[in-house]
Amino acid sequence: MPQVLDELLSILDLEPIEVNLFRGQNHKKIKMRVFGGQVLGQALIAAQRTVEGRVVHSMHAYFLRPGDPSVPILYEVDRIRDGRSFTTRRVVAIQNGKAIFNTSISFQVEEEGLSHQVEMPDVPDPEDLPTEDELLSQLPAEVMKRVQQVVGKSGNKPIEMRRVEAMDFIGEHEQAPHQSIWFRAADRLSDDLAIHQAILGYASDMGILATSMLPHGAWFRFDKLQMASLDHAMWFHRPFRVDEWLLYSLESPSTSGARGFGTGKIFTRDGILVASIAQEGLIRQLKDKPS
């Protein structure tokens, strides 16, 4: 198993501190702030550790403060409700005595019922698309280095990604506010659905806010923008494996008031809709300092 995926699994394996209280570690190489997807995944695991015989079907979260990567995160679980069919948990992530994140997560006993779904977009297979490193290698060296500081190197990530649309990494052109990305875990995982859902939560924070920037050009000009996830909602529709190719179909219906709004649908390779996502994030233009 690649070291980066092994590290992610280790980070998701929370340490129990007390009843309903867990401690999570952070990625060692992160220096600025904790990645939002990490907190989403860890919160899912914390809630799942307090529930038996039921599966997560929805999650509604708010990012309250930037996470400090040098400090472990405490996850406090409140057992809101245990009903006949549904179970509700509230999870608060805490650093230095302050809440940095909170979420409500709902579980359900598995049931049969009515079923329909939208169709998956008609896109090329992931094997027919270049890797991120292959895309970056086509850029001028100075631009490639700067972009890699933001997105990292494809071969050094727990999640492998293949972009369907050509990405304007330089940011010279405006693009339509939608994109499709194939992704999967970098190696085979266990059959535990909770792990697959937690890693999907981790991956769901990748690309959704950036989609809101596509109509405005240069979404890699981070020195001119303040960007951060504000809230995040997920609905899990059907079982899946995150170590097999999944298609993340993203669009941004609106950007306004220094906020970008995006939605996403996640399909298996066979076209089965397994999850839906919605997120709003801060996109604030920074003023140039007077010389």
Q: pLDDT, tens digit, for every residue of 1-48?
A: 678 899 999 999 999 999 999 999 998 776 678 999 999 999 999 999
Across 60-69, 153-162, 199-208, 237-246, least confident range: 153-162
Which one of the listed residues 205, 212, 243, 276 is annotated catalytic? 205
Catalytic residue status for 229: yes
In a domain, 46, yes or no: yes
Q: pLDDT, tens digit, for every residue of 248-265?
A: 999 999 999 999 999 999
Q: Which range of residues forms the domain containing residue 184?
A: 127-291
In a domain, 182, yes or no: yes
Collapse the DSSP code of 209 into the 3-class scheme (helix H, G, I; strand E, B; otherwise coil) and give the result.
helix
Q: What is the reported pLDDT for 282?
A: 94
In a domain, 183, yes or no: yes
* Residue listed under structure tokens 């990490």: 38
Domain match, 157 and 245 both: yes
Domain match, 216 and 168 both: yes
Domain match, 8 and 91 both: yes
Domain match, 174 and 250 both: yes
Q: What is the CATH number of the domain that holds 13?
A: 3.10.129.10
In a domain, 119, yes or no: no
pLDDT(214) > 60: yes
Q: pLDDT, tens digit, for every residue of 89-136?
A: 999 999 999 999 999 999 999 999 999 999 999 999 999 998 887 877
3-state per-residue secondary structure call for 237-274: CCCCCCCCCEEEEEEEEEEECCEEEEEEEEEECCCCEE
Domain match, 194 and 94 both: no
Catalytic residue status for 205: yes
Across 137-141, 189-193, 269-273, 280-284, least confident range: 137-141
Which one of the listed residues 38, 48, 179, 229 is annotated catalytic? 229
Q: Give the number of domains in the chain.
A: 2
The CA-atom distances, in angstroms, between 10 and each of 3, 14, 68, 192 are 10, 8, 18, 15
Q: Which residues contact 113 (CB under 8 A, 6 or more apart)?
A: none
In a domain, 227, yes or no: yes
Q: Is the pTM of this model over 0.95?
A: no
pLDDT(199) > 80: yes
Catalytic residue status for 125: no
**What letters, b where the CB count within 10 A reaches 16 and e where it falls short, cover 98-115?**
eebbbbbbbbeeeeeeee
* Exposed/middle/buried for residue 29 (C-beta within 10 Å: 0-12, 13-18, 19+): exposed
Domain match, 194 and 237 both: yes
